[in-house]
């Protein structure tokens, strides 16, 4: 917390606006939309809820397919199942670790042959870096399929001068406890289509009709955000740029300390935009350095330092074992390789240089 949140939360208590409505919610939506440059925003209970609402508004339902990045957290794809639709997973490209236009093109070619184009494509911006949107948009526009940007990990990242989450039909942000700014939970749906956002707002509040009594003509959800949490979000938004600078500084220190080790390669920063470096991630090639990713994770754990593999691709998850997957190349699955060799190390905005030195020293000892 930055302590700037307290005045907004105090105001919520002073005015007795505790419910999932109120001035902080309205202001948080307006201020977030202004920051990223979208026409509007709807605050909801989670990023997952925002994806679900986007799919519902796009008419996704049973019998439909939705293309989705494979190298991501399960929350990116679970809402596809909520709607009774079928996920089709798309591999990453090595240049950005994000969705491969080559794999996406293959998936569309097959879908057109089968006579069943997807209802939507969910493009995930991984670890604080935007996907290469221009080729992805060109492909989707050619087939008339809308894009939902899962920017849960990339609030503040840019692509060709635009913020991630503002390029497709819908953008989704998360304020979960591990995100670059947090309100403990919560999310935001953004779009330039105000009509769709009003529909999302209606559905998120149990789809209550405009009547004196409680009347419901459509199925809705309890997805609205608390006015108290929205107050925290307003305070967090004020320091977002500082958080980004802090994460990039953490990455730069790791890079300076470890990039000269043969066999370590950091997640690249694509030339088309700026990454927030939400998490610092790199790959370890044991054939070059004699050390595995798991060796490093175990060594850090012995020092009470948590590290993790990069996301396990969704097409490898038991939940999605029967779903189709399109690799970047017929003989090369980029996401599987990244999962086998990739590691995420402590990257918090409040990580001190002394704490980071402990991590670096431990990793260096693995190679000695």
**Contact predicate 212/312, CB 8 Å:** no
Q: Cα–Cα distance between 248 and 251 in angstroms, integer?
A: 5
Element (H, E) at 94: none
Alpha helix stretches (DSSP H) within 120-176: 133-143
Q: How many residues does the chain have?
A: 368
Name which of 154, 349, 136, 117 is nearest 267 in CA terms.
Answer: 154
| Residue 179: active-site member | yes
**Contact predicate 147/99, CB 8 Å:** no
* Residue entry with tokens 């997805």: 223
Q: Cα–Cα distance between 254 and 233 in angstroms, integer?
A: 29
Q: Which of 106, 119, 169, 179 is catalytic?
A: 179
Residue 281 CB contacts under 8 Å (≥ 6 apart), including other chains: 97, 127, 266, 267, 310, 342, 343, 344, 345
CA separation, residue 178 to residues 24, 346, 351 (Å): 22, 11, 13
Name which of 29, 364, 3 is nearest 225 in CA terms.
Answer: 29
* Residue entry with tokens 């300390």: 257
**Catalytic residue set:** 179
């Amino acid at each position: 917390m930055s302590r700037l949140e307290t005045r907004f939360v105090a105001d919520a208590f002073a005015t007795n606006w505790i419910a999932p409505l109120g001035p902080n919610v309205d202001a948080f939506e307006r201020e977030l939309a202004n920051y990223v440059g979208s026409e509007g925003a709807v605050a909801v209970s989670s990023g997952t809820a925002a994806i679900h609402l986007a799919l519902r508004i796009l008419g996704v339902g049973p019998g439909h397919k939705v293309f989705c990045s494979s190298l991501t957290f399960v929350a990116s794809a679970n809402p596809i199942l909520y709607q009774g639709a079928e996920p089709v997973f798309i591999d990453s490209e090595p240049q950005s670790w994000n969705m491969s236009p080559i794999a996406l093109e293959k998936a569309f070619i097959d879908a057109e042959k089968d006579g069943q184009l997807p209802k939507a494509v969910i493009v995930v911006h991984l670890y604080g870096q935007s996907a290469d949107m221009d080729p992805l948009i060109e492909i989707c526009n050619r087939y008339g399929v809308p894009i939902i940007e899962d920017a849960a990990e990339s609030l503040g990242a840019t692509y060709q001068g635009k913020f991630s989450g503002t390029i497709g039909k819908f953008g989704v942000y998360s304020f979960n406890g591990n995100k670059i700014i947090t309100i403990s939970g919560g999310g935001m749906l953004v779009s330039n289509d105000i009509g769709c956002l009003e529909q999302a707002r209606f559905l998120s509040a149990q789809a209550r009709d405009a009547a004196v009594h409680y009347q419901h003509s459509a199925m809705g959800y309890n997805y609205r955000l608390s006015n108290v949490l929205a107050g925290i979000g307003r305070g967090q938004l004020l320091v977002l740029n500082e958080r980004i600078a802090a994460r990039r500084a953490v990455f730069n220190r790791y890079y300076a300390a470890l990039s000269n080790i043969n066999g370590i390669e950091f997640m690249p920063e694509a030339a088309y935009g700026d990454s927030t470096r939400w998490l610092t991630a790199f790959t370890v090639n044991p054939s070059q350095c004699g050390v595995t990713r798991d060796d490093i994770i175990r060594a850090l754990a012995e020092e009470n330092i948590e590290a993790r593999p990069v996301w396990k691709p969704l097409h490898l998850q038991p939940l999605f074992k029967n779903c189709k997957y399109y690799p970047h190349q017929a003989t090369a699955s980029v996401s599987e390789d990244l999962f086998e060799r990739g590691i995420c190390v402590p990257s918090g905005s409040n990580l001190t240089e002394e704490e980071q030195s402990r991590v670096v020293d431990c990793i260096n000892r693995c190679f000695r």
